[in-house]
């Protein structure tokens, strides 16, 4: 009996021990969960505090250093390693070739390129950036090996330059195909750069210019197809730079710096490239390449084309450029009209219109020569304002104002005055000022600054014109008649600005009368000048006196 009781007690103690152990485990689990919960809350609270209070400079510097180190290690070293690998293979080929084994060197190069592509294939999933860099190195290596089959080799493996150019085109074509499959703008850009390099290395007019033109057309196609506008901008700059290098005898290839003899096809290729890049304005754009980007592209095309065509004209066609710039003007003006009808953005048609009128100015200068060209340039300014009204373009008005004032200033300072030219400038200034006042809302002109500039030009030009057009003893009379004409215009047009111009003209006339006419004119002409000027001054004074009285009477009636 005692044994059974003792056995029961021992079993009960074992149960108590197990319950105690289970309780200890539960407490440990609860403590662990509590600590984890506090840690999570601490992270959230620290994040909230970090949103409110910035971390210390040391902590931020440490984070930045870690991020920079990671970027350099992942991307920078990949670029550097791929570049070192590329040059290592090139130096190995050069060493083997220098030992008298050019065929083995080329074969080793192609085998190394294949190895680079195979390595990139196995790294494509785990290390995508390294795969991308190795692909670039492989394409560059294949291009270099193919280039050395004929170019830059003492003993070329291929004796015909044309055949090697075909092989280079095949290598570039394969690269473009693979770049399109990967939708890679960078790989496509590298291929187009290699195409331009091939064009310059070919060192032949038609092959060089044809490949450069193909580059421009290809970049335009990719802009149309994939909206690769960065590729189009880079290609535009490189294409025009290639034209300039060709004109300078391509000194990068070791040729002496000199301008090549003129060739009739050289401007044709240049015009073709300008035409191709201009067609980008007809391509519909998405939101990624907005209006500002397209405006920048149009400006770059115009500026680079002008920088290229001007030395061509000055060096090769100093006496036969009328037709050339006439064709440029006609194309730009027709394209501006087409763009005005097709697109809703005002800057691009206005830019082509301004560029076309600038080219027309050069053509007019070459056709009429100075000083007769000033007459047609003044009339052209009036034509530009008419197109600005049609386009509703404030930009054209601003550009035309600058050109008009610049041409007028050159005329006043450079040439002996011609009566019809001076009066033509004055007429254009007056007519343009009237149009700007009449169609101010249509041209979206918020101020009268443009109109005032034309009125100032009218004021000085008309005095200058009469000063040189009439005999000396009639200058005072003619200027007085001009002042009377301004007063008449102010009555007819109900515009105070012409009255201010009349008063200013009278003041100038009085000063000229006392400083010049008193010493030079005979008594008879002096009497006529004084009496005529006095009559105009007194009449003007009576007019203002009567006007002041009317205002006082009207104010008194309003107050009463």
pLDDT tens, residue by residue, 323-339: 888 888 889 889 888 88
pLDDT tens per residue, range 267-309? 888 889 999 998 888 876 655 555 667 778 888 888 899 888 8
**Distance between CA atoms of residues 405 and 49, nearest Å:** 63
CB 109 within 8 A of CB 117: no
Give Cα 106 to chain centroid, integer Å: 44
Please state, as a whole number, how many other Cβ atoms lie within 10 Å of the Cβ of residue 357. 23
Please tell me what DSSP assigns to residue 182. T
- CA-based nearest residue to 353, from 390, 320, 318, 319: 390
Mean pLDDT of the chain: 76
Nearest-angstrom CA–CA distance, 201 and 223? 26
Residues 359 and 380: beta-carbon distance below 8 Å: no
User: CA–CA separation, 417 vs 397, rounded Å?
Assistant: 27
CA dist., res. 335 & res. 305, Å (int): 16
Helix (H, G, I), strand (E, B) or coil at 523: helix
Does residue 493 have a pLDDT over 50? yes
Q: Which is nearest to 384 in space by CA: 426, 420, 336, 418? A: 336
Residue 159 CB neighbour total at 10 angstroms: 10
| C-alpha closest to that of 314 among 325, 303, 299 | 325
- Look up tokens 């920048």; give the residue: 296
d(CA 398, CA 449): 10
* Distance (Å, whole) CA 32 – CA 450: 80
Handedness of CA 528, 533, 536, 537 (dihedral sign): negative
Tokens for 146, please give them.
Answer: 């193919």
| Mean pLDDT value of segment 45-70 | 47
Burial of 348 (0-12, 13-18, 19+ CB in 10 A): buried
d(CA 446, CA 439): 12
Write down the pLDDT at residue 77. 62
In eight-state DSSP terms, residue 229 is: H
- Which whole-number Å values give the CA distances from 353 to 307, 313, 367, in the listed order? 18, 21, 21
Instruction: List the one residue out of 372, 358, 367 whose CA is nearest residue 310.
Output: 358
pLDDT, tens digit (0-9, with 9 covering 90-100), for 173-223:
888 888 888 888 888 999 999 999 998 888 787 888 899 999 999 999 998
pLDDT tens, position by position, 360-404: 888 888 888 878 888 888 888 888 888 887 777 778 888 888 888
Q: What is the pLDDT of residue 45?
A: 44
* Closest to 232 in 3D by CA, of 241, 240, 220: 220
Given this model, what pLDDT does residue 389 score? 79
What does the pLDDT read at residue 521?
52
On the CB side of 381, how many CA atoms lie within 13 Å of its CA? 28
Q: Given this model, what pLDDT does residue 105 score?
A: 78
CA angle 529, 535, 539 (to 5 degrees): 150
CA 84 – CA 100 distance, rounded (Å): 25
For the chain, give the longest Cα–Cα distance. 168
Please tell me the distance from the alpha carbon of residue 306 to that of residue 297, in angstroms, as a whole number: 14
pLDDT digit string (tens) for 309-323? 888 887 777 777 788
Lookup result for tokens 């080799």:
153
Bond preceding residue 371 cis, omega within 30 of 0 = yes
Tell me the two tokens of residue 541: 């004074």
Residue 164, CA atoms < 13 Å, CB-side half-sphere: 22
Tokens of 369: 């020569």
532 close to 474: Cβ distance less than 8 angstroms: no
Size of the chain, expressed as the number of residues it contains: 560
Band (pLDDT 50/70/90 cuts) for residue 32 is low
> CA geometry: angle at 244 spanning 238 and 249, to 5°?
120
Numbers of helices and strands, H then E, in the chain: 21, 0
- Residue that is written with structure tokens 């009739």 in the block: 264
Contact 454, 397 (CB under 8 A): no
pLDDT reading at 526 higher than 60? no
CA–CA separation, 390 vs 377, rounded Å?
A: 20
Residues 6+ apart with CB under 8 A from 116: 85, 89, 134, 137, 138, 141
Read off the pLDDT of each residue in 501-516 and give the average, rounded to a whole number: 78
- Return the minimum-mean-pLDDT range out of 158-162, 440-444, 449-453, 487-491: 440-444
């Amino acid at each position: 009996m005692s044994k059974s009781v003792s056995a029961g007690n021992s079993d009960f103690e074992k149960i108590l021990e197990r319950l105690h152990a289970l309780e200890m485990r539960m407490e440990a689990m609860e403590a662990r969960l509590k600590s984890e919960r506090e840690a999570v809350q601490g992270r959230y609270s620290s994040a909230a505090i970090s949103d409110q209070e910035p971390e210390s400079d040391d902590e931020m510097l440490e984070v930045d250093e870690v991020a920079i180190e990671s970027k350099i290690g992942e991307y920078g070293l990949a670029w550097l390693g791929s570049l070192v690998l590329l040059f290592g293979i090139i130096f190995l080929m050069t060493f083997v070739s220098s030992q008298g084994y050019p065929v083995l060197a080329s074969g080793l190069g192609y085998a190394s390129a294949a190895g680079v592509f195979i390595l990139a294939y196995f790294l494509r999933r785990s290390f995508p950036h390294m795969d991308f860099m190795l692909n670039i190195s492989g394409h560059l290596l294949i291009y270099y090996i193919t280039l050395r089959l004929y170019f830059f080799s003492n003993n070329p493996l291929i004796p015909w330059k044309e055949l090697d150019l075909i092989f280079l085109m095949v290598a570039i074509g394969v690269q473009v195909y693979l770049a399109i499959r990967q939708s890679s703008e960078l790989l496509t850009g590298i291929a187009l750069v290699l195409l331009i390099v091939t064009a310059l290395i070919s060192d032949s007019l038609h092959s060089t210019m044809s490949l450069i033109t193909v580059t421009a057309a290809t970049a335009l196609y990719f802009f149309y197809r994939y909206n690769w506008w960065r590729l189009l901008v880079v290609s535009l700059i490189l294409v025009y730079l290639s034209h300039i290098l060709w004109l300078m005898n391509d000194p990068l290839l070791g040729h002496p710096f000199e301008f090549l003899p003129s060739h009739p096809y050289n401007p044709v290729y240049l015009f073709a490239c300008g035409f191709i890049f201009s067609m980008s304005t007809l391509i519909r754009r998405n939101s990624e390449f907005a209006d500002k980007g397209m405006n920048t592209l149009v400006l770059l095309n115009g500026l680079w084309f002008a920088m290229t065509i001007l030395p061509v004209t000055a060096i090769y066609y100093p006496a036969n450029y009328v037709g050339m710039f006439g064709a440029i003007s006609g194309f730009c003006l027709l394209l501006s009209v087409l763009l005005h009808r097709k697109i809703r953005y005002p800057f691009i048609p206005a830019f082509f219109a301004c560029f076309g009128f600038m080219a027309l100015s050069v053509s007019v200068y070459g056709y009429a020569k100075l000083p007769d060209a000033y007459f047609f340039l003044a009339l052209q300014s009036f034509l530009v304002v008419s197109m600005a009204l049609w386009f509703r373009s404030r930009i054209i008005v601003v550009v035309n104002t600058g050109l008009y004032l610049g041409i007028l200033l050159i005329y006043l300072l450079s040439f002996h005055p011609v009566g019809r030219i001076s009066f033509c400038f004055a007429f254009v200034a007056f007519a343009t000022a009237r149009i700007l006042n009449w169609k101010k809302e249509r041209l979206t002109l918020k101020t009268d600054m443009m109109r005032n500039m034309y009125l100032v030009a009218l004021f000085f030009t008309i005095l200058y014109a009469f000063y040189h057009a009439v005999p000396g003893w009639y200058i005072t009379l003619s200027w007085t008649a001009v002042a009377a004409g301004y007063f008449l215009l102010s009555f007819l047009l109900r515009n105070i600005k012409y009255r201010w111009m009349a008063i200013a003209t009278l003041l100038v006339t009085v000063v000229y009368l006392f400083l010049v006419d008193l010493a030079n004119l005979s008594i008879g002409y002096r009497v006529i000048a004084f009496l005529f000027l006095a009559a105009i001054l007194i009449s003007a004074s009576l007019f203002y006196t009567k006007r002041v009285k009317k205002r006082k009477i009207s104010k008194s009636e309003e107050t009463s």
